[in-house]
Amino acid sequence: MGHGLALHFALNGQDVRLTDHRQSNLERAADRIRDTTAFLREEDETDRHPDDIVEEVEFVLDTAAAVSDVDIVLETVPEQLELKREVYREVVAAAPDDAVLASNTSGIPITDIADGVPDHAERVVGCHWWYPPYLLPTVEVVRGTQTADGVVDRVRTFLDSVDRAPVMVEKDVPGFVWNRIQMAVFRESLHLVSEGVTTFEDIDRAIRDGYALRTAAIGPFETIDIAGLDLVETVLTDLSPHLCNDEAPNPLLDEYLSQGRGGIHDRAGFYEYDRDPESIVRERDKTVVALRQTRDRTGDSAE
């Protein structure tokens, strides 16, 4: 995620530093920024030269030096609470006293992260970008129990300056908004397959070519308004008792993981793959670009 954020900030005129504890990681990030900028240029998403964008990103090994004079720190380390707290303790010792401490965590409660720096909890805020950040226009802004109003306002202003729209999360619940919805859909999808109701292929077809295609045009509440709340209430009354409510991951996940089928990096997950992971992700990105460009031409959904 770090390289994608640095790329997006540089494309939008921000002074950006990317820091990591390994030089090899920074070199790999530079290569990915260069490759992704070239892709965006091919798709008419930018006219900037890849080498110029890499030159505009400062790559720094020393975290303290990287944050010494910044306005906003955006942490993107792995989803481990103690690791994030350790990073924040290092950051608050070196960053300006008024720097925003933002986390790109996809689900750890912001309040739990802020507990690692109790004297600075009011400065800690969730800033969860969806991947890829250089293509998807919405960002979750998550208020912890002690996050100051001014910090939330500064993040909203920053997102506006880099052409992103905030999704405000006013209650610090695990998973926030998007991942709670996404995982609920995935839980039900996996349940239907494990119960023999349908197949992986047909679930993907139903969501990708049906539900998601319509949802790209209007959201779920707009959809319900069109269908009628009375109809939806009737459907939910009949259906709700039958929906999956498992409190643990479906055993199918362990079954596939035990077989070494962890996803595209293993060349197998729910499906088998004969292409390299980079080409699979790039094909996904090309489709996202095409969908977004179509929306830009036709206008946003109704307000």
Q: What is the mean pLDDT of the chain?
A: 96
Using the predicted structure, report yes or no on whether residue 303 has a pLDDT greater than 70: no
Verify that 153 and 200 share a domain, yes or no. Answer: no
Q: What is the pTM of this model?
A: 0.92
Residue 204 CB neighbours (<10 A)? 14
pLDDT in tens, 104-162: 999 999 999 999 999 999 999 999 999 999 999 999 999 999 999 999 999 999 999 99
Verify that 152 and 184 share a domain, yes or no. Answer: no
Verify that 195 and 92 share a domain, yes or no. Answer: no
Q: How far apart (Å, rounded) are the C-alpha atoms in residues 51 and 297?
A: 30
Verify that 156 and 8 share a domain, yes or no. Answer: yes
Place of tokens 């996050």: 147
Residue numbers of the domain that contains 196: 178-298
Using the predicted structure, report yes or no on whether residue 299 has a pLDDT greater than 90: no
Verify that 150 and 203 share a domain, yes or no. Answer: no
DSSP class of 61: S
Q: pLDDT value at position 246?
A: 95
The domain tally of the chain equals: 2
Verify that 141 and 225 share a domain, yes or no. Answer: no
Specify the 3-state DSSP secondary structure of 144.
Answer: coil
**Which letter, b or e, does each residue of 47-66 get, where b requires 16 or more Cβ atoms within 10 Å of its Cβ?**
eeebeebbebbebbeebeeb
Q: pLDDT value at position 204?
A: 98
pLDDT in tens, 206-262: 999 999 999 989 999 999 999 999 999 999 999 999 999 999 999 999 999 999 999
Specify the 3-state DSSP secondary structure of 20.
Answer: coil
Verify that 135 and 260 share a domain, yes or no. Answer: no
Question: pLDDT band for position 301 (50/70/90)?
Answer: very low
Verify that 135 and 25 share a domain, yes or no. Answer: yes
Mean pLDDT of 19-43: 97
DSSP class of 302: P
